[in-house]
Structure 1
Amino acid sequence: MNHSPLTTHHSPSAPSAALPRFEFHISRKARVRYQFDQSLYSLTGNVILADYRAVRALADKMNAVRDAKQNPDQAVRAGQLNAMGLIDEILHFVAARYRAERNPNAMAKALNWLGERMGQDALDRTLLEFVTLFPPLAVHQSQQTPSQYLAGETGGYPHRCIVLEEVMLLSLTNENPAFAPFIELFDDADLRQQPGYVRIKSLLDDFFRTQPTYGPYGQMLTDLLRAPVKASPYSLTGQLLYIKEHWRFFIPGEMLDRLVHRLLVALDYIQEEERPRGLGPGPAVVPTFREGALATDLEWEQYSSDLDWMPKAVLMVKHTYVWLHQLSVKYGRGITRLDQVPDEELDMLGQWGFTGLWLIGLWQRSPASAKIKQRCGNPEAISSAYSLYAYEIADELGGYAAFDSLRARAWQRGIRMAVDMVPNHVGLYSRWTVEHPDWFIQLDHPPFPSYGFSGHDLSDDDRIGLQIEDGYWSRSDAAVVFKWWNKRTGETRYIYHGNDGTCMPWNDTAQLNFLIPAVREAVIQEILKVARHAPIIRFDAAMTLTKRHYHRLWYPEPGSGGDIPSRAGRGMSRPDFDHVFPQEFWREVVDRVAKEAPDTLLLAEAFWLMEGYFVRTLGMHRVYNSAFMNMLKAEENANYRSVIKNILEFDPEILRRLVNFMNNPDEQTAVAQFGKGDKYLGVCLMMATMPGLPMFGHGQLEGFTEKYGMEYRRAYWDEPTDWDLLERHKREVFPLLRKRYLFSGTENFFLYDLYDRHGKVNEDVFAYSNRCGHERALVLYNNRYAHAAGCVRM
């Protein structure tokens, strides 16, 4: 990243001590109240120096003194405070351009004008009072007295001229309604007691009416500086946007680039604070493919070839520990290892038509995850299945020896084992956080000054300490980082938790930095190692590692930030990002697996309208189709028919590569969403007969309603099998699963419209056909509790 001084979020030194320095002035009274002795913004020459850490520190101090938790109406937001300070310094910047281009001695002439009209003594008293009430940092820190500062100069530019400009800007600041929440910082009420200050305010307007105009609309300087307020009086964002749109035309190119960068980052800071958090991924959307799933990325066709077994795959999902406990109850003996799974269970799955068995939670988990969950209220919790110490089969499950035994017995019945990986992060305490702390996205300081780390040390290694932020223990905050420190050297890092920007951070994880080539290669090696043991690999939250979304989430381009708190201002331009992350990670994974472990089906959990991109361009064999579950559950039948039609029109091959499901581990159970009656069976029949890969959830066949947490060792509800539902599966669903060769392809797949007697299409009825060789199938299903009749034109 190339940070120029104008764009740096904390730059402690000016480029040259010989240039005059203009500061965002905070009143002495406010500095004393909030015990704040830092600089927020300053202008030196053509360079705006911004210290966003200091902005956050001041906001935090203000909120603490105001007791903002008890008085939320008095809370101060750092992003708004930052925007206010930036606007003030941009006004100084414009005034500096005015002096440089139109009126070099403007302030000196203004001093003479004022001295002649209000008297030199009154002018001097007012300037001295301003320096006393709104001291420059050097005066506030007692390096100079107000009189000494006022008598001085920098680079030949008198401080009296600097102070007069600051007085002018202070009066404009107090006139700005959008600045009202921060008036305490710069309230000129005490200064207004000086008659000279009120006189200066009116006389400056008179003075600049006699001076050269400036700006895109030829305004006198004070009117030009008021223009953003006039355009958007109550909105800081509106004022920043006005500056960006209207003032860019008279600012030189390089300076403009820097200024626009700062403006965009300031807007990102506001966006971070105003964006709702924890609302999830949002409603299902009908994808369109005419312009591609990613308007900013090249999309080419590069499908991976299917091996003969892949189109016929039918996947059963099991939460490993819960399943083993249920088997123990069912068979009346302890079943705790993978090699103890009874042959009868595998026989049953094979006979029912399942050809893949995905076991969730096989890997060695991070013990820190269990400590967090147990201390937060679940004493029986084990670590999350997605907070991993290492990609090794857990010892208590029997390790790789037990897994390989189960894999061999399953394969005797035509069942391939499936596992999942979560490459974007590892567990809070993991092999890599101990051995490779540089591999993670991190800071050398807490991103928010309010963060505290005084809780339990979650590390099991005596070389390092690990603490999550205190707000997690008190359930008052969801911090984006945790504290890592070296117990021998004292070195401290603040590493980001895994995060997809839609919910809370995953507080038992550590986010890997995929800008580092060594990290990408290490993850690929783990994938290849797993592929040698399991022929089906599901990648959790795979969309977060596409270039588009990794860039957006972790290194946002200025103007596009706000998804993960504190990442605004730490971003990269698209060319810079492409330079350090040149190739799509998943394309590299697919190509390496095809070469080194070719008998592997790669399955991506991907949302955000990236389904087509994942299979068609990145080359995944299969990708999640969440629209199937969400739209059919909500009976958004016209929308789902549009999904099918859009895919068929663009590229039918995509339809063949979708994973259709009625629930997944992050959702409520199929029974909870679809019930147990004809609606459930109808959608289940669609899943069994549509092109793609059918995936059945844990407990779906038995009619279980409990949603199993990733930290569950056992089921907590004592649910009996619904034998009637299971029998209906045996009669109506399993025979179709055993004929997946007939339904999985798209070469002979046709979707039909059902017309009622008025010639109108009934969007609630799904009618489609398929064939393979001499076998043909016609499927009709009405996904609405209503009578339907009509004809299909075939």
Structure 2
Amino acid sequence: MTAVYELDTWPWLTGLSRRYGRTVTLGDVPGEVWDELRGLDAVWLMGVWERSPAGLAIASANEGLQREFRNALPDLSEKDDIVGSPYCVRRYEVDERLGGQSGLRTAREELRNRGLKLILDYVPNHVAPDHPAITEYPDWFINGTPDDLKSDPTGWFEAGDRVIAHGRDPYFPPWPDVAQLNAFHPGLRKATVETLKSIAEQCDGVRVDMAMLFFNDIFVRTWGDRAGPKPAQEFWPEVIKALPDGFLLIAEAYWDTEWTLQQQGFHYCYDKRLYDRLAHESADAVRAHLRADRGYQDRLIRFTENHDEPRAATAFGPRNRAAAVAVATLPGATLWHDGQFEGRRVKLPVFLGRYPDEQPDNELKAFCEKLSRLKVNTGEWQLLDTHDVLAWTWQNDGKRHLVVVNYADGPARTRVRAPWWSDEKPQWRLTDLLDGRVFDRDGRELADAGLFVDLPAWGFHVLEVE
């Protein structure tokens, strides 16, 4: 798998409904729309599960969220546009308003017919406050006391005769619309396996929300004695070994937990560290990051945008295309986000079911579509020893590619030494796969001095070398 495309399912379907002048659900997306995704490897339909009425009520009453909603959608309709959080899951059943179970089956078949895998969400840490398990299996949750509720009403809520914790991580205040599951409870671990097995019948893989929160040590740091005795076995190895072979697991990962998650069985982990370096740091910091072991890098998923991050056109500014070239041509997988290609600038809160109207950047769209479908990052990869630019090579089945990125705000004129330059070949032809330019270069000059590149600020080449 190389390229994953994230669709924010609800606003995406709303946009299609407006485009076609009728209600579009997962079961009747026009074939031409699915055709637009050809050439990618997988589609992540973010937010298909049943959303919580209780969570929606909490979000609708939250003044801070209301400000966010109106900043994103100045013409917000509270009745029509606020649909609830996709990470406040009431049941792992496809929301009927999106097309239900039959609609998802149709969508999966359409994707499969085009050679695309289907990725869905799984949220291990928490569920909606009206999830059936809260009343049926309250011991699966972090339980408190009436004194806890009295002293910290934002951290706890009443559920029948129980006091249940709101979900959180160790560093931020609780999320008011979700209930905290107990990673240490054996019943919860068994239920997780059964839920994931059910999901595995409906798709080819899952993106696991905040996967590292269920590490034993992180869970103890968050909940202490309230979680009960720490199990001898970590959560994820116990769960993953029970899942079907070939079921793809992508971990949302932070706090330098990527390697551990890979060792515990995840196929890919978010590379948030690379995102931060591309967004805020220099080429030297990016280069240092890329010196990691190849086996580790092959199991990272790189991105410059997703539903949690600001829009790339806003966050990266003039470095947007250069960063995109980097993530698309490095080892591992690449995650693209709906609206990124068109240069959308408004980050939509996940509670909303409609995108604001924005003028698309058609030139950027053509560039990103071409870039996302390049298949250069397979085979033998080598990071080149350069200082003024970022550069790496790929060799696979006799094909050679050279990527050069000037990740700086000024021009770069330098020499790049690739491992294959040789004066035994009198001439080399280099074709830029992004803009079509062709460069013929003398073999002796390349062998002696390397390839001379002259790139503007944030400029780049993706070269096929013959």
Normalised to the residue count of structure 1, the TM-score between the two structures is 0.49
Q: Is 1:340–2:340 an aligned residue pair?
A: no
Aligned partners of 2:50 and 2:91 also within 8 Å:
yes
Structure ranking higher on relative contact order (CA contacts 8 Å, 6+ apart): 2
What secondary structure sits across from 1:389 in the alignment? strand
| Match of residue 177 from structure 1 | none
C-alpha distance after superposition, 1:246-291 (max 9, x if no partner): xxxxxxxxxxxxxxxxxxxxxxxxxxxxxxxxxxxxxxxxxxxxxx
Aligned partner of 1:691 among 331, 339, 344: 331
- One-letter code of the match for 1:689? T
Aligned partner of 2:383 among 716, 729, 751: 751
1:590 Cα offset (Å): 2.1
| Match of residue 266 from structure 2 | 620
Cα separation, 2, equivalents of 1:433 and 1:366: 13
- One-letter code of the match for 1:360? M
Aligned partner of 2:309 among 667, 675, 684: 667
Cα separation, 2, equivalents of 1:347 and 1:656: 28
What does 1:26-37 align with in structure 2 at a 5 Å threshold? Answer: none
Aligned partners of 2:184 and 2:227 also within 8 Å:
no
| Match of residue 285 from structure 2 | 639
What secondary structure sits across from 2:412 in the alignment? coil
| Match of residue 463 from structure 2 | none
| Match of residue 445 from structure 1 | 146
Q: 1:346 to 1:525 in 2, by over 3 A?
A: same
| Match of residue 401 from structure 1 | 102
Q: Is 1:316–2:5 an aligned residue pair?
A: yes
Calculate percent identity across the aligned residue pairs. 32
- One-letter code of the match for 1:653? G
Cα separation, 1, equivalents of 2:205 and 2:329: 22
What does 1:33-432 align with in structure 2 at a 5 Å threshold? Answer: 312-335=1-24, 337-350=25-38, 353-376=39-62, 378=66, 379-380=78-79, 381-432=82-133
- One-letter code of the match for 1:389? R
Q: Is 1:705–2:406 an aligned residue pair?
A: no
| Match of residue 245 from structure 1 | none
Cα separation, 2, equivalents of 1:347 and 1:416: 14
Aligned partner of 1:552 among 207, 221, 239: 221
What does 1:594-633 align with in structure 2 at a 5 Å threshold? Answer: 597-615=244-262, 617-633=263-279
1:371 Cα offset (Å): 0.8
1:735 Cα offset (Å): 4.5
- One-letter code of the match for 1:361? G
C-alpha distance after superposition, 1:743-769 (max 9, x if no partner): 145xx2111122xxxxxx33xx21111
What secondary structure sits across from 1:446 in the alignment? helix
Aligned partners of 2:282 and 2:407 also within 8 Å:
no
- One-letter code of the match for 1:399? G
Cα separation, 1, equivalents of 2:128 and 2:150: 25
Cα separation, 1, equivalents of 2:41 and 2:227: 45
Aligned partners of 2:4 and 2:42 also within 8 Å:
yes
Cα separation, 2, equivalents of 1:635 and 1:443: 43
- Give the aligned length: 403
| Match of residue 783 from structure 1 | 407
- One-letter code of the match for 2:326? M
Cα separation, 2, equivalents of 1:513 and 1:729: 42
- One-letter code of the match for 1:627? R
Q: Is 1:528–2:152 an aligned residue pair?
A: no
1:552 Cα offset (Å): 1.4
- One-letter code of the match for 1:753? D
1:790 Cα offset (Å): 2.4
1:505 Cα offset (Å): 0.9
C-alpha distance after superposition, 1:310-354 (max 9, x if no partner): xx331111111100011112222221x21121111110111xx21
Aligned partners of 2:277 and 2:286 also within 8 Å:
yes
Greater share of strand:
2
Aligned partners of 1:368 and 1:383 also within 8 Å:
no
Greater share of helix:
1
Aligned partners of 1:635 and 1:783 also within 8 Å:
no
1:789 Cα offset (Å): 2.4
Which stretches in structure 1 are left out of the alignment for 5+ residues?
1-311, 452-468, 470-478, 486-491, 557-569, 755-760
Which stretches in structure 2 are left out of the alignment for 5+ residues?
67-77, 420-466
What secondary structure sits across from 1:768 in the alignment? strand
Specify the structure having the higher radius of gyration (Cα): 1
| Match of residue 4 from structure 1 | none
C-alpha distance after superposition, 1:688-734 (max 9, x if no partner): 1111110001210111112121211112x211221121122245x14
Cα separation, 2, equivalents of 1:681 and 1:514: 41
C-alpha distance after superposition, 1:63-97 (max 9, x if no partner): xxxxxxxxxxxxxxxxxxxxxxxxxxxxxxxxxxx
Cα separation, 2, equivalents of 1:527 and 1:665: 23
Q: 1:571 to 1:525 in 2, by over 3 A?
A: closer
- One-letter code of the match for 1:484? A
1:450 Cα offset (Å): 4.1
Cα separation, 1, equivalents of 2:369 and 2:182: 47
Cα separation, 1, equivalents of 2:57 and 2:373: 46
Cα separation, 2, equivalents of 1:634 and 1:395: 41
What secondary structure sits across from 2:265 in the alignment? coil
Cα separation, 2, equivalents of 1:730 and 1:790: 29
Aligned partner of 1:728 among 351, 359, 367: 367
Q: Is 1:497–2:127 an aligned residue pair?
A: no
C-alpha distance after superposition, 1:356-399 (max 9, x if no partner): 11111100112101111223355342221011111111122222
Aligned partners of 2:378 and 2:396 also within 8 Å:
no
| Match of residue 158 from structure 2 | 483
Cα separation, 2, equivalents of 1:554 and 1:694: 34
- One-letter code of the match for 1:709? P
1:449 Cα offset (Å): 4.0
1:448 Cα offset (Å): 6.1
| Match of residue 591 from structure 1 | 241
Aligned partners of 1:422 and 1:540 also within 8 Å:
yes
Normalised to the residue count of structure 2, the TM-score between the two structures is 0.83
Aligned partners of 2:189 and 2:239 also within 8 Å:
no
| Match of residue 513 from structure 1 | 182
C-alpha distance after superposition, 1:493-532 (max 9, x if no partner): 2211110122221111111112211111001110111011
